[in-house]
Amino acid sequence: MFTLSAETQDDWWEVEALYDLCFAPGREALSSYRLRDGVAPVAALSRVARDEQGILGGAIRYWPVLVGGAQTLLLGPVAVHPTAQGEGLGGALIRDSLEQARQENWARVLLVGDAPYYARFGFALLTDVNMPPPTNPARVLGLELRPGAWRGVRGDVTRDA
């Protein structure tokens, strides 16, 4: 059984170690990291999942970005420790944090990921949104937290600093 809670400053390095474990070496060279560099994650949406012993099982972060000048959330990374994978923890982190994003009045979410996995949460391909290269356009997905939030929003994704 895992408990979800807001990420704190004390969690930072443990979460970073989880991301290092779950993602390939050089993960920080990805285009999404250039959008995050020097920008604080959205604290109200960043979550950790810990078991009964307090061991970190998963984490999710969000970052503010601009899409064609419109403020947008960039989801990611989301990671689950290999020993906790297959238990629905990633989905719980995503659902919990998206609900919090709605409550915080965010309009839209962007991510770079696997469409079949993220479709279950309502994400769909964004054909008019351009992540910095080298990003596979078939992996650029979006979700409306408010009806019509992606209507007319298109263009380059840039830092919101």
CATH code reported for the domain at 3-159? 3.40.630.30
Residue 141 — pLDDT band, cuts 50, 70, 90?
very high
Residue 100 corresponds to which tokens in the numbers above? 């919090």
Place of tokens 């019509």: 148
Which residue type, as a one-letter code, is found at position 5?
S
Sequence-distant (6+) residues with CB within 8 A of 113 are 76, 123, 139, 141
Q: Is 146 helix (H, G, I), strand (E, B) or coil?
A: coil
Q: Which residues of 75-101 are buried (b: 16+ CB within 10 A; e: fewer)?
A: bbbbbbbeebeeeebbebbbebbbebb
Q: Which has the closest alpha carbon to 78: 157, 19, 9, 7?
A: 19
What would the pLDDT profile of 39-96 be if each residue is shown by its tens digit? 889 999 999 999 999 999 999 999 999 999 999 999 989 999 999 999 999 999 999 9
**Angle at the Cα of 39 (from 95 to 43), degrees rounded to 5?**
40
Q: What does pTM read for this prediction? A: 0.92
Where are the domains positioned within the chain?
3-159
